[in-house]
Structure formats: structure tokens, C-alpha cells
């Protein structure tokens, strides 16, 4: 195994039941959805013990991303490898597609600084969304209205008036939304998004719209005190962000998110373009159209919904579209 070269790696999606989900991820990914029930999430790159992503094909088929991190740290991570000691650290990002047919719970994730609220082995959770589909009833809540205090928010939870305290907007396809840890947020009403987040599963529910889980017949638990302890009551950086065009040829390359936890660019057009970076890993997610990544004389297909991990040893590659495409390129900050 130590001699196995690391080429671009494709991973199988992991579908997740969510009471607020729907069936629209069937139009986003090629892998068929489970037979029935609402599917709210597709985890497309996950280094979690309970739901590990596995390589879909090639000589490493079936291997988990965690096994690759341990077996090939230098090949996979390049100059970032010293930050991830074998067996101690996971791939730091978790990538998903979300289908929020119904409204999600109003929730908040802790920042890294709130170590007392974060279980052992977890981190804080900053995340961001790229809106893929939305309708007239779609809604995103991100942050508080000006002047809302902890006392205001606690009272609103008791009175069922949380929505009145939150900043909200009607999303449209292409919107980029930043949700730093500490930002109260929710989304729903038939919106489909791509999500990039820290590799953490720590969520505190503040309010759940009186939802009842059809599987249990009971409301889901709330963590009101922990949620309020995490909320950033100052001026939040959360909400809509304006893409920054870095170049326009051979395709448009836009910077969407550039934070401490992740960097994300959107590339779109119909001409071949360069992806990847020398000495550092990159992740590609095709969100519209199709094409192929060319590396070492081989071609790796990338259709809508596909994720490809470009190991550090891969370096820069060519993405050759088949018609117009939109591709997200994601980096771990150095």
C-alpha cells in the first residue's frame, strides 16, 4: 500500500434521513436516494467515525478518507501534513448537500473559543452555504436583528417568537452565505444548498418550530442554555457575501469564502481551466454541468454532484468541461 500513488480520488455520497428533508437531492447527485423517506443531507466528504467517506473506484476503492490520512499523510496533505499527526487528527472539513424542504431548527454552533461546550475530539463549527435551488417560499435566517439581547432572545424562545428576532432573506440560486460559529441560523422552504463546514457535529438547537419527528413521534431535544451561551450578540459577519472576481479568463474564478477554516472559489465557463495547487490538497465539487480532470495522462470524470479530492502530490491539473460547468474548489488554509 505504501507504494500506491495517490491520483484524484472520488468518494461515494452518504445519504442522511432528516425530518425536514425531501427528495430533491436525486437531481443533484447521480447516486440513487434510499427508497423512501425525507433525505435532508448527502455527506460527500466526511472523515467521521460514524459516517466515513469511502473511495468510489480505482486501486483504493473502499478505503476511507481517515485511512488515507493515516497511510499517506505526505502524499495527501503535502506541506500541511505536520498539522495532522497520524491517528490523532481528521480531515478538517466536512462537505454536504442539503435539501431543506421544511424549515430546519433555529440553531447555533460553538466557536473554538468555547472549549467548555465542545465535546472531546470535536471542534467549533464555522460553515458556509452556496445556494443551488430556491423558490418563492425559501427562506434563510442568518444572525440577529440589530439590538437583540440575550434576554430578548430567551424570552422569544419561551413565547415562540424567535423568527421575529432573526435577520432573514429570500435566497436565490448562486447566493453565497457565511455562517461563522456563534451565528443563529436556519433555512428551509424548498432550498437546496452545498455546505462546507469544519469537521464537527456540535449543534445546539434553540427553537424547533414545534416539529415532531415522524420516526419517534416526539419533539427533538433543545439545548437552549448552551445555544445562548454560544450566540454572538455583537455585529455578526454572517449572512450574504459578495463574490469577488479574481480573474475572468479562461473562465470566471470567484472567491466566495476566505476565512480561517476554509477557502472556497467558484469557477464557471466552458473553456478548460486549471485546478489544484502544488504541495497542498484541494477538493473539487461539480455543482452544474460535467467535465473531466486530466492528470498524468488519465481522465477522471466529474458530473453534477461529484466530489474529487486532489491530493497534494497531484499538483495543478486541467479541468476540461463538456459544455458549461460550475465547479467549487476548496482549500484548507495554510
**Residue 88 gets which letter from DSSP?**
T
Q: Which residues pair with 196 in a beta bridge?
A: 95, 128
| Cell numbers placing 17 | 434521513
Asked if residue 236 lies in contact with residue 143, where contact means CB atoms within 8 angstroms, the answer is yes
Q: Is 48 among the catalytic positions?
A: no
Residue 35, φ and ψ in degrees, nearest 5: -55, -40
Concatenated DSSP letters of 128-139: EEEEEE--TT-E
Distances (CA, A) of 68 to 6, 53, 84, 309: 9, 11, 12, 11
For residues 178, 117, 158 and 106, what is the CA-based torsion angle, rounded to 10 degrees? Answer: 30
Asked if residue 291 lies in contact with residue 282, where contact means CB atoms within 8 angstroms, the answer is no
- As a whole number of angstroms, the distance between CA 262 and CA 1 comes to 30
- As a whole number of angstroms, the distance between CA 36 and CA 122 comes to 32
Question: Exposure string (b/e) for 284-323, b if CB count within 10 Å is 16 or more?
Answer: bbbbebbbbbebeeeebebebbbbbbbbbbbbebebebee
> From the candidates 205, 253, 266, 282, which is the catalytic residue?
205
Question: Which residues are annotated as catalytic?
Answer: 205
Amino acid at each position: 500500500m505504501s507504494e500506491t500513488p495517490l491520483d484524484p480520488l472520488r468518494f461515494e455520497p452518504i445519504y442522511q434521513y432528516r425530518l425536514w428533508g425531501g427528495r430533491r437531492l436525486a437531481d443533484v447527485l447521480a447516486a440513487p436516494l434510499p427508497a423512501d423517506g425525507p433525505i435532508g443531507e448527502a455527506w460527500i466528504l466526511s472523515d467521521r467515525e460514524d459516517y466515513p467517506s469511502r473511495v468510489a473506484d480505482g486501486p483504493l476503492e473502499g478505503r476511507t478518507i481517515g485511512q488515507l490520512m493515516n497511510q499517506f499523510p505526505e502524499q495527501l496533505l503535502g506541506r500541511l501534513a505536520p498539522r495532522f499527526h497520524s491517528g490523532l487528527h481528521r480531515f478538517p472539513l466536512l462537505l454536504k448537500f442539503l435539501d431543506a424542504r421544511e424549515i430546519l431548527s433555529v440553531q447555533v454552533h460553538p466557536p473554538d473559543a468555547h472549549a467548555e461546550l465542545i465535546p472531546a475530539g470535536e471542534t467549533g463549527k464555522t460553515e458556509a452555504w452556496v445556494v443551488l435551488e430556491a423558490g418563492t417560499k425559501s427562506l434563510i435566517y442568518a444572525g440577529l436583528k440589530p439590538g437583540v439581547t440575550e434576554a430578548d432572545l430567551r424570552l422569544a424562545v419561551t413565547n415562540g417568537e424567535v423568527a421575529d428576532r432573526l435577520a432573514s432573506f429570500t435566497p436565490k440560486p448562486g447566493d453565497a452565505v457565511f455562517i461563522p460559529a456563534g451565528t443563529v441560523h436556519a433555512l428551509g422552504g424548498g432550498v437546496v444548498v452545498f455546505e462546507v463546514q469544519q469537521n464537527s457535529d456540535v449543534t445546539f438547537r434553540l427553537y424547533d418550530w414545534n416539529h415532531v419527528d415522524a420516526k419517534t413521534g416526539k419533539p427533538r431535544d433543545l439545548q437552549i442554555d448552551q445555544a445562548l451561551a454560544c450566540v454572538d450578540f455583537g455585529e455578526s459577519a454572517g449572512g450574504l457575501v459578495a463574490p469577488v472576481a479574481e480573474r475572468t479568463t479562461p473562465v470566471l474564478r470567484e472567491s466566495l469564502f476566505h476565512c480561517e477554516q476554509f477557502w472556497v472559489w467558484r469557477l464557471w465557463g466552458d473553456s478548460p481551466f486549471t485546478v489544484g495547487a502544488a504541495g497542498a490538497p484541494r477538493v473539487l465539487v461539480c455543482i452544474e454541468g460535467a467535465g473531466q480532470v486530466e492528470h498524468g495522462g488519465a481522465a477522471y470524470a466529474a458530473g453534477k454532484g461529484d466530489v474529487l479530492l486532489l491530493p497534494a502530490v497531484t499538483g495543478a491539473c486541467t479541468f476540461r468541461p463538456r459544455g458549461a460547468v460550475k465547479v467549487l474548489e476548496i482549500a484548507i488554509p495554510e
